Structure 1
Amino acid sequence: MKTTILDIDFESSIGPWLGRTVKIVDNCFQEAFDAAGIDLTKEQMLILKNLYEQDGINQNELATLTYRDKSSLARLLSKMETKGYVKRLQSEDDKRNNEVFITPNGKEIFQKTRPIIQNIIDVMESDIDQNDKLLMIQLLKKIQQNFKLETTNK
């Protein structure tokens, strides 16, 4: 029996370009936080941002908002609790759920990241006009929707 080998031109697909770009952005955040003496990862910064905007959110809702599974979010929150950035309290409405709060220390750290975040956004978007930026966002949303459709059709 003869085996057919599919010739896949992965380099010409969107996937590796998205992956490389995400890694570059992640590295920029980490280098900038380290240079500023801020003990934080990009993932932790995103948690702080969400809590800064919506403090006391249910842990399961936070997992959904940050595109994380519940167990990886629980590990991340444990590290952040150790650093004194967040605290979890058992929900009074449902004892099976935790509500997550940003601490004063977490707010202070998040405030320190704001100019760093803005600088990275400025670098990322330099020489990209508003129309191209909007098109990029639209295309990325379409890719996300394609994957949502794929998982719902299984």
Structure 2
Amino acid sequence: MRSNPSPFEAIRRTDTVNRAPIAFGLFALSRVFHGYGAEMLLDLGLHPGQELILMQLYDRDGQTQTELQQALGLDHSTISRAIKRMQHSNLVARAASDRDRRAKEVWLTDKGAALRTPLERLWMSLERGIEEAIPPSRRAEFIRTITKLEQVYTAARLARDR
């Protein structure tokens, strides 16, 4: 049985990943960042992804499932499953739209609304960790770089779907 890895060697670097250190570094960071964030979300009783739906509703409550789907870049079945799960947890309510009876609107419940401050604290905690690692003089360039990378890989994913 293997002992727990140290925080600095969570994934052994193979010869292949040593030839792609930036890609692997981003993969490893994404993995640990997602895992850490997921643990924090579970402490709030949320599953990863549910916070994104809540944050959309904090900005504008009563959005249709289609609007949420488009805002988050998710497919219909994924958003539908997530909202059903959130309904069962009493985080949101869903009702037919007054404007279009075929559309379902999603509304925050008191329980879902009450998570706004804890979610904001969670995101600020994640932000502080990043700020500790990146000096103020390099943050704007870092943001430009990660934005560009997101655009590049979003385009690559869309191209694969065609």
Shorter-chain TM-score category? 0.7 to 0.9
Cα 1:131–1:98, aligned 2, differ >3 Å: closer, same or farther? farther
Q: Does residue 86 of the first structure (1) align with residue 70 of the second (2)?
A: no
**Is the partner of 1:60 in helix, strand or coil?**
helix
Q: Which moved more, 1:49-58 or 1:140-149?
A: 140-149
Letter in 1 for 2:70: T
Residue identity opposite 1:52 in structure 2: Y
Counterparts in 2 of 1:25 and 1:92: CA distance versus 1, 3 Å: same
Among all aligned residue pairs of Structure 1 and Structure 2, give the percentage whose two residues are the same amino acid.
Answer: 23
Question: How far is 1:48 from its partner?
Answer: 0.9
Aligned with residue 30 of structure 1, among 32, 38, 47: 38
- TM-score, normalization: structure 2? 0.75
RMSD: 2.5
- For structure 2, which runs of at least 5 residues remain unmatched after alignment? 1-15
Point out which structure has higher relative CO (alpha carbons under 8 A, 6+ apart): 1
Question: Could you report, residue by residue, the CA deviation over 1:84-135 in whole angstroms, capped at 9, with x for unpaired residues?
Answer: 0011111122222211111111011232232222112101221312342222
- Pairs aligned (count): 145
Shift, 1:147, TM fit: 4.1
Does residue 145 of the first structure (1) align with residue 146 of the second (2)? no
Amino acid at match of 2:64: N
TM-score, length-normalised on structure 1?
0.79
Equivalent position of 1:112 in the other structure: 118
- Identify the residue that residue 74 of structure 2 maps to in structure 1: 68
The unaligned stretches of length 5 or more in structure 1 are 1-8
User: SS where residue 100 of structure 2 aligns?
Assistant: coil
Choose 42-51 or 138-147, whichever is displaced more.
138-147
Deviation at 1:43, TM superposition (A): 1.0
